[in-house]
Amino acid sequence: MYIINSLIGAVSQGLIWGIMVLGVYITYKVLNVSDLTVDGSFATGGCVFTLFIMNGVDPTICVILATIAGGLCGLVTGVLHTKFKIPAILAGILTQIGLYSINLRILGDRSNISIGKISTHISEVSKSFNLTQTQGGLVVGLIVVIICIALIYLLLGTEIGASIRATGSNEQMIRSLGVDTDLTKLIGIVLSNMLIALSGAILVEMNRFTDVGMGKGAIIYGLASIVIGEVLFMKAKNFSVKLISSVVGCIIFFMIRAIVLRLGMKANDMQLLSSIIVALALSAPIIKENIKTKINYKNNTAIKNGGNINA
């Protein structure tokens, strides 16, 4: 029973963090840009949500404001990268570092705050359908993930969306056609961080507290989930399936964490485990290709030797 509850909790967490993974997917896979704003904008979403929910603002408005705040974080990174030609990785790091102080200010110079028993979307769903907080988080997370995937799919199917995808595929070519690649990058980075902040806000609803360090390691979770999803859905061609695979990868990632914790691993070692999972996931395709090459080489050698003997 404990294992089942742990896995349900892992699925719930995986869906909520999966929204963040969708944001990472846009920059990492679609735009081909390494944006490290993630850890900061994720916490910003949670902090902004907490600030307004503690002041009696409607939960839906709080989520919208948190999402907008994430977009502003992405805007800063995007401007630093596109207008001031600072490398994307460095621009993201600069924004991320600055956001730590800003997030502290948002929380009134406190590192963490509990939202207590304030009503949120998850608590309302839990009460309405007689569910636990974890089960309510699973339902809300699933609904939001479906909406986000549908909106991303529709957006990237438009003319501006096609330009964003083309920018990631071949920036020089699309620029020669007269497309402002700085603008497409800016839009992509802003959209990415809006999703990331949205994820942070919903996670606060789930955990019922926020912390300025809640986004620590988020980029690792995102990359691990994307790679795990790609390994599982290696033959996927449809863009919507690729988005779904990233969320599924996130769920599997959190299930692995839950199982390992149940087996006795210390919570403090989770960052190490996450790094190992990412390293293995990234190495898996190369290892598989090397094994395949060696097998083909041995088979070709055997056929060649067999032919020589017959001759």
Residue-range definition of the domain harbouring residue 264? 2-306
Tokens 């969306």 appear where? 161
What would the pLDDT profile of 136-145 be if each residue is shown by its tens digit? 999 999 999 9
What is the tally of structural domains in the chain? 1
Is 310's pLDDT higher than 60?
Answer: no
Does 311 reside within a domain?
A: no
The predicted structure's pLDDT at residue 24 = 97
The confidence band for 307, taking pLDDT boundaries of 50, 70 and 90, is low
Average pLDDT over residues 240-265: 90
Write a three-state SS string for 23-84.
HHHHHHHHCCCCCCCHHHHHHHHHHHHHHHHCCCCCHHHHHHHHHHHHHHHHHHHHHHHHCC
Cα separation, 194 vs 53, whole angstroms: 18
- Of all residues in the chain, what percent carry a pLDDT higher than 70? 97
What would the pLDDT profile of 9-22 be if each residue is shown by its tens digit? 999 999 999 999 99
What would the pLDDT profile of 118-153 be if each residue is shown by its tens digit? 999 999 999 999 999 999 999 999 999 999 999 999
How confident is the prediction for the chain on average, in pLDDT? 92
Which has more confidence, 267 or 46? 46
Is 284's pLDDT higher than 80?
Answer: no
Is 185's pLDDT higher than 70?
Answer: yes
Whichever domain contains 296, its CATH number is 1.10.3470
110: region left, alpha or beta (phi > 0 left; psi from -120 to 50 alpha): beta
Q: Report whether 41 contacts 12 (CB < 8 A).
A: no
Q: What are phi and psi of 190, to 5 degrees?
A: -65, -50
Does 225 reside within a domain?
A: yes
Does 96 reside within a domain?
A: yes
